[in-house]
Amino acid sequence: MSVSFPKPLTEEEERYYIDIYENGDDDAKEEAKKILIERNLRLVAHVAKKYTSQFHTMDDFISIGTIGLIKAINTYNSGKATRLATYAARCIENEILMTIRASKKYTAEVSINVPIGTDKEGNEISLNDILGTEPDAIIDDLDTKIKIGVMLESIGKVLTEREKYVLIYRYGLFGVLPHTQREVAAMLGISRSYVSRIEKKALACLKGALNA
């Protein structure tokens, strides 16, 4: 099922909302930021269509790309000659590429369990066998990876965009470096206490999803 995104802003509209976001009061800035995000979601989808991954769906890439869009809006300087849409496209692409690289690293970790040959009795052996890893340690490691996979899948299903953003940047998911609540608050333009409330609610939703 295709998703219909709002029409992009014209260059004049973009300048108008950026000016409000940079110079307006708190309420006006929050509303302007919301509009800048919503009206650039089509750009996120356009960039996301360029990428494929065995670990991520198109919806995943759109969610990840939206994080890049938010970062672009937070760091954009209207004094530059580049339009926000041009600058945001690069940020969206970087966010997706960073996630893909992190996924490839994860694949490399899992691949040590794949059979690479046989022993003298004809039994399959893996790189783990050669390295002498204890079977219990392999099972524990695999169990951890499965739980992490379920958690990452739940993030995309049960959390709002803002809740996903907070958890991804607080705990360094999808290859992102972890940040303090104060740093995340600065990125989103909200208070640290509000970030704390969002984080607690998001963790509670994740716990419920994992228990289910």
pLDDT tens for 109-132 read 444 455 545 555 666 655 455 444
Q: Are 197 and 100 members of one domain? A: no
Q: Is residue 123 part of a domain?
A: no
From residue 207, how far is each of 34, 59, 102, 188, 210 by CA, in Å?
A: 28, 22, 24, 24, 5
Average pLDDT over residues 142-158: 61
Angle at 27 between CA 46 and CA 41, to 5 degrees: 5
Angle at 104 between CA 141 and CA 70, to 5 degrees: 105
Alpha helices in 111-134 (DSSP H): 127-131
Tens digits of residue pLDDT in 50-75? 887 766 788 888 888 899 999 999 89
Q: Are 1 and 66 members of one domain? A: yes
Q: Are 18 and 93 members of one domain? A: yes
- pLDDT value for 197: 92
Judge contact between 134 and 140, C-beta under 8 A. Answer: no
Average pLDDT over residues 149-157: 66
Q: Is residue 119 part of a domain?
A: no
Range of the domain at 85: 1-104
CA distance 52 to 33: 29
- Checking if the pLDDT of 16 tops 90, the result is yes
Q: Is residue 116 part of a domain?
A: no
Q: Is residue 148 part of a domain?
A: yes
CB count, 10 Å around CB of 96?
Answer: 25
* Average pLDDT of every residue of the chain: 77
- pLDDT value for 92: 92
Judge contact between 129 and 114, C-beta under 8 A. Answer: no
- Fill in the DSSP letter of residue 25: -
- Checking if the pLDDT of 42 tops 80, the result is yes
Among candidate residues 104, 120, 143, the one where a domain is terminated: 104
Q: Is residue 194 part of a domain?
A: yes
CATH code (residue 177): 1.10.10.10
Residue 135's pLDDT band (boundaries 50, 70, 90)?
very low
Average pLDDT over residues 20-35: 90
Q: Are 85 and 170 members of one domain? A: no
Residue 138's pLDDT band (boundaries 50, 70, 90)?
very low
- Checking if the pLDDT of 27 tops 50, the result is yes
- pLDDT value for 91: 92
Q: Are 5 and 85 members of one domain? A: yes
Q: Is residue 122 part of a domain?
A: no
Q: Are 5 and 79 members of one domain? A: yes
Average pLDDT over residues 170-184: 80
Q: Is residue 188 part of a domain?
A: yes
CA distance 18 to 13: 9
Among candidate residues 104, 120, 155, the one where a domain is terminated: 104
Single pTM value for the model: 0.52
Average pLDDT over residues 165-191: 82
And the tokens for 5?
A: 């995104």
Q: Are 32 and 93 members of one domain? A: yes
CATH code (residue 95): 1.10.1740.10
CB contact set of 170 (below 8 Å; sequence gap of 6+): 178, 179, 181, 184, 195, 199
- Checking if the pLDDT of 83 tops 70, the result is yes
Is 167 exposed, middle or buried, given 0-12, 13-18 or 19+ CB atoms closer than 10 A? buried
For the chain, the domain total comes to: 2
- pLDDT value for 130: 47
